[in-house]
C-alpha cells in the first residue's frame, strides 16, 4: 500500500509512556513535596525543553519534512520520535509542578525532630550506621543518600527525634533503628 494512504500517528504501538510508568506515584490526596532547589531544577528543565530544545527539534522536523519521502527520511523520523519524547516529558513536568508544594527544610534548622528535608543519621540492629536525606519523590537520588518521603525508611523515621527507636518493616522482618542525629540546612540569609 502506498504510504500516502496510511495514517501517521504520534505514537508507535510499542512506544510506552516509560517516563510516567517509571516515575513513582504521588500518594492519593497528597501534594508533590519538593525542596526549593528541587522545584527550581524541575522548573528549569521544563523551561529548557519549552524554550530551547523543542523549538530546535521542530525546526529540524520541518526542514526534514520538506526533503521529500518521509518514510525513508531519518532526520524526519528521529525528529518526530524525539518530539514525542519531549512533549511527554513536558506533560509529566507540568503535572508534577502543578501538584508541587515547596517545603523549605531550613525552617526546621536546629530541631531534633525529623521532618521533610532532614538529614538523618541512624544505626540499625547490626550496628551499621547510615545517613539519609528525606527529599521529594522527583528529586531523591539514592546514589547521593537521598530517599523519597514516601519510602518506607522515611515514613518510619518521620516525626521521630534524636534518641528515639523506630520500627522499620522489611522483607526480612521488623528492624529497629535508633536515630543518632538530625540536621537541616541553615536558613538562607541572603
Q: How confident is the model at residue 10 (pLDDT cuts 50, 70, 90)?
A: very low
Same domain, 48 and 111: no
Q: Tens digit of pLDDT for each residue in 21-41?
A: 456 778 777 788 999 999 999
pTM, entire model: 0.77
CA distance 76 to 115: 49
CA distance 93 to 105: 22
CA distance 97 to 34: 9
At 106 the three-state DSSP class reads helix
Can you say whether residue 104 is alpha, beta or left, with left for phi > 0 and alpha for psi between -120 and 50 degrees?
A: beta
Name the domain boundary from 102, 132, 161: 102
CA distance 114 to 181: 9
Same domain, 124 and 96: no
Q: How confident is the model at residue 6 (pLDDT cuts 50, 70, 90)?
A: very low
Name the domain boundary from 81, 102, 123: 102
- Structural domains of the chain, count: 2
Same domain, 113 and 172: yes
The parent domain of residue 158 ranges over: 105-183
Give every CB contact of residue 145 below 8 A, 6+ residues apart in sequence. Answer: 130, 131, 132, 133
Percent of the chain with pLDDT over 90: 67
Task: Give the closest residue to 112 by CA, choosing from 35, 42, 9, 184.
Answer: 184
Grid coordinates belonging to 49: 525543553
Contact predicate 154/168, CB 8 Å: no
At 77 the three-state DSSP class reads helix
Q: Tens digit of pLDDT for each residue in 136-168?
A: 999 999 999 999 999 999 999 999 999 999 999
Same domain, 49 and 115: no
Name the domain boundary from 102, 122, 155: 102
Amino acid at each position: 500500500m502506498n504510504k500516502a494512504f496510511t495514517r501517521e500517528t504520534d505514537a508507535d504501538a510499542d512506544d510506552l509512556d516509560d517516563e510516567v510508568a517509571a516515575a513513582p506515584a504521588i500518594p492519593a490526596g497528597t501534594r508533590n513535596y519538593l525542596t526549593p532547589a528541587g522545584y527550581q531544577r524541575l522548573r528549569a528543565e521544563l523551561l529548557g525543553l519549552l524554550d530551547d530544545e523543542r523549538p530546535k527539534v521542530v525546526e529540524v522536523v520541518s526542514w526534514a519534512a520538506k526533503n521529500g519521502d518521509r518514510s525513508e527520511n531519518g532526520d524526519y523520523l528521529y525528529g518526530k520520535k524525539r518530539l514525542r519524547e519531549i512533549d511527554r516529558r513536558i506533560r509529566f513536568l507540568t503535572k508534577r509542578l502543578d501538584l508541587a508544594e515547596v517545603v523549605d527544610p531550613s525552617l526546621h534548622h536546629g530541631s531534633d525532630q525529623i521532618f521533610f528535608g532532614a538529614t538523618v543519621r541512624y544505626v540499625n540492629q547490626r550496628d551499621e550506621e547510615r545517613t539519609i536525606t528525606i527529599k521529594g519523590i522527583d528529586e531523591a537520588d539514592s546514589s547521593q543518600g537521598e530517599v523519597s518521603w514516601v519510602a518506607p525508611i522515611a515514613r518510619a523515621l518521620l516525626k521521630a527525634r534524636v534518641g528515639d527507636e523506630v520500627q522499620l518493616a522489611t522483607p526480612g522482618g521488623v528492624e529497629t533503628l535508633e536515630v543518632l542525629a538530625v540536621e537541616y540546612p541553615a536558613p538562607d540569609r541572603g
